[in-house]
Amino acid sequence: MPEGVAADPDVALMLRVQAGDHDAFQELFRKLSPRVLQYTRRFVGSEAQAEEVTQDVFVQVFRFRHRYKPQSRLTTWIFTIATNLCLNELRRPERHLRVDIWDRRDDDDRREGPQLPDPDAVTAEEGAATRQLARRLEEAVGALPPKQRAALLLSRIDGLAYRDVADALGCTEGAVKALLFRATQTLKKSLHEFLPKED
Amino acid sequence: MRCGRAQKLLTAAVDGELSPGRRAALDRHLAGCPVCRAERAATQSVLDALDALPMVAAVPAALEQATLRRVRVLAAEEAERTARSGWRAWLPLPALAVTAVLVLAIAITRTADDRIPTSGARSPERIARAHPAQSHPNSAVAVAPPAEPPPALAAAPELFVDLPMLRNLDKVKHFEAIRTTTLDDETPSGEEAPSNG
**pLDDT of A80 over the 50 cut:** yes
pLDDT, tens digit (0-9, with 9 covering 90-100), for A113-155: 334 445 545 555 557 777 888 888 999 999 999 999 999 999 9
Instruction: Indicate whether B129 belongs to any domain.
Output: no
**pLDDT of A9 over the 70 cut:** yes
Nearest to A101 by CA among A31, A45, A154, A156: A45
Lowest mean pLDDT among A159-163, B40-44, B131-135: B131-135
pLDDT, tens digit (0-9, with 9 covering 90-100), for A11-53: 889 999 999 888 999 999 999 999 999 999 999 988 899 999 9
The helix/strand/coil state of A48 is helix
Q: How many domains does one find in chain B?
A: 2
Same fold, A1-95 and A127-199: no
Find the chain B residues whose C-beta atoms sit closer than 8 A to any C-beta of A: 7-8, 10-12, 15, 17, 34-35, 37-39, 41-43, 45-47, 49-60, 63-64, 66-68, 70-72, 74-75
What are the extents of the domains in chain A? 1-95, 127-199
Instruction: Indicate whether B189 belongs to any domain.
Output: no
Q: For residue A163, what are the contacts with CB-CB under 8 A and spacing of at least 6?
A: A173
Q: Return left, alpha or beta for A114; rule: phi > 0 is left, psi -120 to 50 is alpha, else beta.
A: beta
Instruction: Indicate whether B161 belongs to any domain.
Output: no
**pLDDT of A67 over the 80 cut:** yes
Query: How much is the pLDDT for A34?
Result: 94
How far apart, in Å, are the Cα atoms of A86 and each of A21, A51, A67, A82, A148? 28, 11, 20, 6, 13
Question: How many beta-carbon pairs under 8 angstroms link A with B?
Answer: 126
Query: Are the CB atoms for A53 and A44 separated by under 8 Å?
Result: yes
Instruction: Indicate whether B181 belongs to any domain.
Output: no
Domain that holds residue B77: 63-99
Instruction: Indicate whether B43 belongs to any domain.
Output: yes
How far apart, in Å, are the Cα atoms of A39 and each of A13, A80, B103, B147? 21, 11, 61, 86
**Interface contact A122-B52, CB threshold 8 A:** yes
**pLDDT of A106 over the 50 cut:** no
Q: Are residues B16 and B40 in the same domain?
A: yes
Highest mean pLDDT among A45-49, A101-105, B95-99, B167-171: A45-49
Give, in degrees to the nearest 5, the angle at Cα B48 between B44 and B52: 175
Query: Are the CB atoms for A36 and B67 separated by under 8 Å?
Result: no
Stretch B154-166: mean pLDDT, rounded? 66
* Residue scoring higher pLDDT (B8 or A102): B8
How far apart CA B104 and CA A108 sit, in angstroms, is 81
Q: Return left, alpha or beta for B154; rule: phi > 0 is left, psi -120 to 50 is alpha, else beta.
A: alpha
Q: For residue A146, what are the contacts with CB-CB under 8 A and spacing of at least 6?
A: A43, A86, A87, A90
Domain A127-199 has CATH 1.10.10.10: yes
Chain A residues 146-175 with CB within 8 Å of chain B: 152, 155-158, 161-162
Q: Are residues B40 and B75 in the same domain?
A: no
Stretch B139-168: mean pLDDT, rounded? 65
Instruction: Indicate whether B71 belongs to any domain.
Output: yes
How far apart CA A151 and CA A180 sit, in angstroms, is 6
pLDDT, tens digit (0-9, with 9 covering 90-100), for B31-88: 999 999 999 999 999 999 899 888 899 999 999 999 999 999 988 888 888 777 765 6
Query: Are the CB atoms for A64 and A106 separated by under 8 Å?
Result: no
**Interface contact B12-A162, CB threshold 8 A:** yes
Backbone phi, psi, residue B64, to 5°: -65, -45
Q: A1-95: which CATH topology?
A: Rna Polymerase Sigma Factor; Chain: A (1.10.1740)
Instruction: Indicate whether B45 belongs to any domain.
Output: yes
**pLDDT of B187 over the 60 cut:** no
> How many residues does this entry show for chain B?
197
Closest Cα in chain B to A176: B12
Its pTM stands at: 0.63
**Interface contact A51-B63, CB threshold 8 A:** yes
Question: What is the ipTM metric for this complex?
Answer: 0.77
